[in-house]
Every structure is written in structure tokens, then in C-alpha cells.
Amino acid sequence: MQKLKDFAGCLKEEAHQYDSVYLTPHSWTSALQSVSSLCKLVDHILLPMGEIELSKFSLPSNKKPVRFGFACIRPPGHHASSSLANGYCLINHVAVAATYALEYFGGRFGDAELVQDESPKSSPKNSYPFLRNPKPQRRVAILDWDIHHGDGTQSIFWNDPNVLFCSIHAQKAFPFVSGSSAKSVGGPNAFGRTVNVAWTSHGMGDNEYVYALQTLILPILQEFQPTLILISAGFDAATGDSYCGNLSPVNGFGRMTTEILRVATEMDCPVIASLEGGYKQSVLVPCVASVVQSMVVFGEESIMTRNENDERNFLKGFANDALVGTTSSINHAITGSIASSIDGVCPTAVKNIEATRAAQQQFWKCLSVNHLKQER
């Protein structure tokens, strides 16, 4: 018993070195399983797009490539930087997945050459494929709609022109950093690659998020032309989860997902969502269901992966009676059209969005004054 107490004390002492980090004997294993699950999902979606024979690599061979996927993993990751755990996050899963895609998948993913690792240390069972592309065109977009700013993700890709990081978040919430404002636009080599829509008041809902997406983020996304879109899918902006947000599980998250999928399909770009924040199971379940259902209803197959520690509890949650009967509502919400109208949008939200537009105009043609005049 004394050894266990000493061990628990060591974990507590280690956790105190970081901001809002809590450790158990299983924390590191869970974090590793989570990032492994997400990278495996990247494999499942990107490798078949190249019409490559996958049988010898222990990956499924799909006649029709899977374009969308959801990784239901915990702990979350978007607060973790390259060298520091933070805000419940030990490893930044989305950042690892983005880097993995940039390193191992070139071009439009289908243009790459698959090469087997034949090093002496590798066995047929453990050998792993990697991709080479003589003309790499690698661009990853990360969309973070967690109520908290993805400060870790932003710091990792701050000066990387190949990664677009867009975040919609409450400015007056953890991690309370100045770098979460609209004025933060990226490093010297990546101006405009960081896009922050920072709500300066709480309670922003469906209209505000959809308006920000339609009038600002999606046009930037289309101009950036990513080869992979990763969503840091936190659901703590949902009504009933936190004091900061007021997004409905179905009309909010389901519709945002559908709009992202529409734009992604036009660009022939796969989309992978990865679970971040969200703390009340009764709220989290319909939120996740609406995103997954959006992927299914949109007309494509999808994959959902889970790390082993979360699988049992999450499946139990999915069977919860609260979810029964929501499918028809989800279908109706995500198949309807969304007008990028300012009607019903909170004036403060409009002001916040315009602040981001002003900070980004010089970097994106779609936001320039002349371009907007031509559209009108």
C-alpha cells in the first residue's frame, strides 16, 4: 500500500509541473493508443485513395475509397505543444496526424509511390509502407471548433506554410492566452496560415458559427486547397456542456460538418474528425452522432475509430435512450441548405468575425475588398 501511495504521489507531483494536467498509471498508454488510432485512420483513408494494393500491409482493400472518418479518442490533444503537456492534453494527436500525413503522403495522395521498408530490422509482420512523391504538394488544413483555443496546435504549426490552422473559440476561456486573438496570423514564413475567430462574449450558437464558417473560414479553405482536412472536434461549445457556448448538437455540429464536407468534396479532399473536448456524456453522445451521421448521410462511407479504453463506455453511451429518435432530426438538419445571412447573428459575433477578416485580408484574395466587390 505504501508503494502505491508513493507512486500516486509521484504522479501528482509530475502533473503539477503543467497547467491543468492530471495523470494516472494509464494516462500515457491511453495517449499513445489515441494517437496511434488517429494515424491508423489516416492510413485507412489516404492509402486506398492511391488505388494501392493494401493486403500485404494489413490494411483493408476498399473498392470505393473511404473519404470521411471520425476518431473517438481520449485524452484530448489540442492544448499540448511539441514539448509541453497542457489542459488535459498529453500528446497533440491532430498535430501528429497532420505531420504524419505531410511526411508520408505526398501530392494528392494518389500520385505517390508506395515503398516497402526492407531494412534488416524489419520483419514482414512489422514492416511498414511509406510513400514517396517526386513532386510533393502537401497541404493540411486543421479546423478547431472546440470552445477552447487550440494553443498547442497553433504553436506547433505557427511557421509552417503547409498547414492552415483555423480556430473558432471563446477568448475568455482557458487557456487565456493573448495568441488566441484575431491578430495572431502565423509566423514570418506562414502569414495567414493561422486564422482565429475569437468570441469576446459567451453564448454563441448555431447562427454565429455557421456565419463564421460560410463567410470567412470556408472561402479561405477553398483558396488554400488542402489535400487533407482534420477537424479538432471538441463539443464543449454545445448547449448544456459549458457556460461558454450555445451550439445545438444537431443543427450546430451536424450542419457545420456538412458544410465542410461539401467544400471538401468539391476539392476532392478527405476529412477526418478527432474528438477533443466535451465533458457531459448526455450532451457528447448526440454531438458525436450528428457528426458521424453527417458523414454517412452526405453519401460516403465513413470510419469511426476508438482507443480501447474509451470503447466500452462510448458504445454504452451510444445506446443511451437519449439518442433514440434523433436520427430523423439529424437527417433534416444536415441536408438543408444554409444561407450565409447576417440575419439572427449576434452583433458581437459579427464584430469578431470582421476583426478576423481585417487581420487576414492581406493574405487571402477571397477576403480582399476588390474580390468582395466583384462577387457582389
First to last CA, the chain: 72
71 and 233 Cβ atoms separated by less than 8 Å = no
Residues paired with residue 170 on neighbouring β-strands, in sequence order: 199
Question: How many Å apart are CA 182 and CA 349, to the nearest integer?
Answer: 12
- The number of angstroms, rounded, from the C-alpha of 357 to the middle of its chain's C-alpha atoms is 22
Q: Is 148 a catalytic residue?
A: no
Q: Give the C-alpha separation, 43 to 235, whole Å.
A: 25
CA–CA distance, 289 with 72 (Å, rounded to integer): 11
**What is the C-alpha separation between 209 and 278, in angstroms, rounded?**
17
Contacts of 22 (CB under 8 A, 6+ apart): 15, 88
Closest CA to 221 of 189, 182, 264, 272: 264
In this structure, is the dihedral angle defined by the CA atoms of residues 151, 91, 36 and 121, taken in order, positive or negative? positive
Distance CA 92, CA 95 (A): 5
Alpha-carbon distance 114 to 104, whole Å?
Answer: 10
Phi, psi of 230 (to 5 degrees): -110, 130
Cα dist from 131 to 157, 217, 337, whole Å: 22, 30, 39
Give dist(CA 30, CA 27) in Å, integer. Answer: 5
Task: Say if residues 151 and 181 touch (Cβ distance below 8 Å).
Answer: no
Q: Are strands 228-233 and 140-144 parallel, antiparallel or unpaired?
A: parallel
Among the options 16, 26, 44, 79, which is catalytic?
79
Widest distance between CA atoms in the chain: 73
At residue 352's C-alpha, the angle toward residues 149 and 264, to 5°, is: 65
Q: Which active-site residues does the annotation give?
A: 79
